[in-house]
Amino acid sequence: MVINGQRPRRPGRRRLAEVRGLDEGHWDLCLRCWGVVPGKPVAMRDIVAALEGPRDDIVRCPLWNFSYLEKFTARMVPDLTCRVRRMQTVESGRDIECEGFELHAVVRGDVNGVRVVNLIPPHAYRRLLSKQGTRRAFLSELVVWSQLKHAHILPLLGSYIGMGDTRQCFVIPRMAGGTCVDYLRECETPDLLRILSEVAEAVQYLHSRSPHIIHGEIRAHSVFISAAGTAFLGNFDFSPLQRPDINRFDDTDTYEVIESSRWLAPEALKGTSKCSDVFAFGMFGCELFSGDVPFPHVTALDAGSLIRSNERPPRPDTPSLTDEVWAIFRQCWRRAAPARPSMEEVSRRLRDLRAQESNPTVP
């Protein structure tokens, strides 16, 4: 077959291959080695240079044995168990809205200049991790989250291991504005375009990782706002990078899927993708400017049915929503996933609009 010019096909289980390290760059290198790419001959020095060249987009996926997981997290993620003080349960904010509670605390000394923190307990985890509750799943989340460094990604400060409701907690900075839901409720003059643009940058960052990271639940509850009004994207679920060979949804996910239906792309039940994240981002934008969830007058289940029937939310009646931003939302909602813009394009357009808003003389 090789003599006849045939070469291996790209692995059919593409997502699994990407998680194991065969991304677009490495596959292109394979094709060049096989002489498949016309006009792009390759020498050994080119291969070495490509493999040794610095890359800041690679995310190491937790496909390791348990022992290595423990060693990696011990080296990369601070264990703050002995440093957390004055922990208190607060029945307010996003978690109480989900029939839970928030855990507030302070850290002895500080972590990256932060002393006042929140603990994310098991009841507030996203989907798969909360159901399994295993030490391996918890460590796998720490592995991925600890590698994400961006101005608008919710920072992971460390971990906390307690008992009962606090048996395995993520430690994050306490955001004075709460979630975007809280912030919109309490702030009289929120800078909506700024929040929208900053969340777009965070999603674009996730999509630009290798392998790319799909958020899967872009909505106001997943966005946190600092005292300075800066937006941070959180509420992650990195299980697809831990177990890329499983189906996205199983029969235990029914409640979570229904609750997220207002933001889900029509094709998302078959599997999430960068395109489905773009669709959800458009729904988040509508939520941001309307101050309410998409299709607020129907149940979440009926909202999902409306979306799959090609219905979309009406334009929010607010002067802060310009024609240019509304056009972006509508493009994000296109039924055909490939016709939607990329988050890179969306982020760029929103940055340009912010620049024009701050300096009206800019063309």
Contact 122, 130 (CB under 8 A): yes
Cα separation of 48 and 45, whole Å? 5
Query: How deeply is 154 buried, as exposed, middle or buried, from its count of CB atoms within 10 A (0-12, 13-18, 19+)?
Result: buried
Cβ-based neighbour number of residue 8 at 10 Å:
9
Q: Are residues 29 and 90 in the same domain?
A: no
The answer to whether residues 239 and 343 belong to one domain is yes
Is residue 1 assigned to a domain? no
Looking at the fold, whether 232 and 156 belong to one and the same domain comes out as no
Domain identity same for 42 and 116: no
Same domain, 239 and 348: yes
Q: With respect to residue 6, please indicate whether it lies within any of the assigned structural domains.
A: no
Residues 277 and 217 in one domain: yes
Which CATH number characterizes residue 306's domain?
1.10.510.10
Dist. CA 142–CA 279, nearest whole Å: 27
Backbone angles phi, psi at 112, to 5 degrees: 55, 40
For the chain, how many structural domains are there in total? Answer: 3
Encode the chain (363 residues) as per-residue pLDDT tens digits: 555 556 677 665 556 556 656 666 766 767 777 666 666 667 777 777 766 666 788 888 887 788 988 999 999 999 999 998 887 877 665 544 444 567 888 888 877 788 889 888 776 776 554 455 578 888 989 999 999 999 999 999 999 998 776 778 899 999 989 899 989 988 989 999 999 999 999 999 999 999 999 999 999 999 999 999 999 999 998 877 776 656 555 544 555 667 789 999 999 988 889 999 999 999 999 999 999 999 999 999 999 999 999 999 999 999 999 999 999 999 999 999 999 999 999 999 999 999 998 777 655
Question: What tokens appear for 204 in the block?
Answer: 């674009």
Entry pTM: 0.87
Closest CA to 314 of 291, 334, 294: 294
Asked whether residue 215 is assigned to any structural domain, the reply reads: yes
Which residue range(s) make up the domain with 197? 180-358
Short-list 121, 233, 236, CA closest to 171: 121
Number of H helices, E strands in the chain: 15, 7
Which of 173, 204, 219 corresponds to the end of one domain? 173
Residue type, 317: D
